[in-house]
Structure 1
Amino acid sequence: MPRKDAEEYLGGLGGAQMIRRILHATDFSPASQAAFKKAVELAKQNRAELVVLHVMSPVVYTTGEGYMSPKMYDELAASTRAWANGQLDRQLRKAKAAGVRARGLLLEGLAHDQIVRAAKSQRADLVVIGTHGRSGLAKFFVGSVAGRVVSAAPCPVLTVRGK
């Protein structure tokens, strides 16, 4: 898979490439926290706007023993949305405390697809995303959101491995 080397993009053009908007995609995991710190650092260095994106997986409505009433489904979806908004708000406060212009974006769907769409619609100059560093069978079965974003994004993607 071809890799868009964001570090080279950032430093190898002698400052000719302006970064006005950075999209940070997060799942609030430790890997995403490391990527968030890097995104804030880059936004501050470039005086860029930071868009913090979280993509919620759709709540699966099932039947049979796992039946969930429409009311319960709506309550679960609202609760999940409220939790995600709270997490986004917390990250936005941290970014703003660091002197970065930041705003949040909450979408629902397949993570890699929505991240690529958001990179286009938000006109991101750079996407910063965490990676869990899976390899072998784990990567084969689970897949890699970061890898899919790298292949399809309209701009460079900086992947940050979680600690």
Structure 2
Amino acid sequence: MLQISHVLCPVDFSDFSRRALDHAAALARWYGARLTLLHVFINRPAADLPPAPMTEVERQRLTADLRRLAAHVPFDVPLDLRVTEASDIHREILIQAEMVSADLLVLGTHGRSGFERLVLGSVAERVVRKAPCPTMVVPRQAHDTPPDEPVRFRRIVCPVDFSDASVRAVEYATSLAEEARAQIILLHVLDVPPEILAQPISAGVDVDRIRAAAVADSQKQLEALVPDPPRPHCTMKAIVREGPVYREILAIAAERGGDLIVMGVQGRGAVDLMVFGSNTARVMRAATCPVLVLPPK
């Protein structure tokens, strides 16, 4: 059984973070976990001026704002309120996650795209890349979740590339699904680079046969991940699709009514971060349901 004893939820008082708080509170209540609500006061230098430290009056005001934001958290969820100051929000969130020994981070994303995201970056993406624990990102398109009702995961989409990270994601998703009596959709995407497709096909090469064999092999590997006998209280379905990885993940989640996408991240070298940016981050930006990302071991 999955053990979650401490949930950390950073907020900036926006509607996006309020929605994330609802998910965090529902999960904390479901697992009997403590919930810490965190606000980071940004303390950066402006132009040639040194940073202005947070005053005690500001700290009290922000704490009062946190208390008001948390007013709808169920009374039976142990709740801590934290106001800290830092020049770098994502680093401070990571520090606080370590300090409270968080088992789960839950944060909202503003869903920035294009030039704005390129210039400003994304706190959520930076946190996910370095988080010491699983991180659930609640996108702005996600449905509201009543914090005082059971977690409503009915269909969990779990992309699998057969790496150790994705297999651990399957195990995590399975634990969630068993407790929520949900269905897990195991998805493997065959992504053929467009430059290969653009090359002329040699005479006698049966492309359809090669593709069919690749699909059959992937299907067999996926089905090998389905426990035998089946786990109680949850079902699994294995699907193989062809196309760009992140688009197929989003398409399956939309077609099948996915309530949650669970993904594993491999190492954190330069190449891995590029892969993260091209797949995991794109899913986080465009998903219409929460995305839970597991860190590498």
Fold shared by both chains (TM-score > 0.5): yes
> Shift of the alpha carbon at 1:61?
6.8
* Counterpart residue number, 1:94: 72
User: Corresponding residue for 1:127?
Assistant: 105
Matched, 1:103 2:88: no
The alignment status of 1:35 with 2:15, answered yes or no, reads no
Give me the whole-angstrom Cα distance separating, in 2, the residues matched to 1:161 and 1:26.
14
Q: 1:50 aligns with which of 24, 35, 40?
A: 35
Q: CA separation in 2, counterparts of 1:62 and 1:79?
A: 25
Cα distance in 2 between the residues matched to 1:44 and 1:92: 14
Which of 55, 66, 80 does residue 58 from structure 2 map onto? 80
RMSD of equivalent CA atoms: 2.3
TM-score w.r.t. length of structure 1: 0.77
CA distance in 2, matches of 1:102, 1:82: 17
Which structure: larger Rg? 2
Aligned length: 140
Shift of 1:82: 2.5
The answer for unaligned runs of 5 or more in structure 2 is 142-297
Tell me the equivalent position of 2:188: none
Give the TM-score, by structure 2 length: 0.44
Larger relative helix fraction: 1
Asked if structure 1 preserves the Cα contact closer than 8 Å seen for 2:18 and 2:69, the reply is no
Aligned identity (percent) is 33
Unmatched 5+ stretches in structure 1? 1-15, 68-72
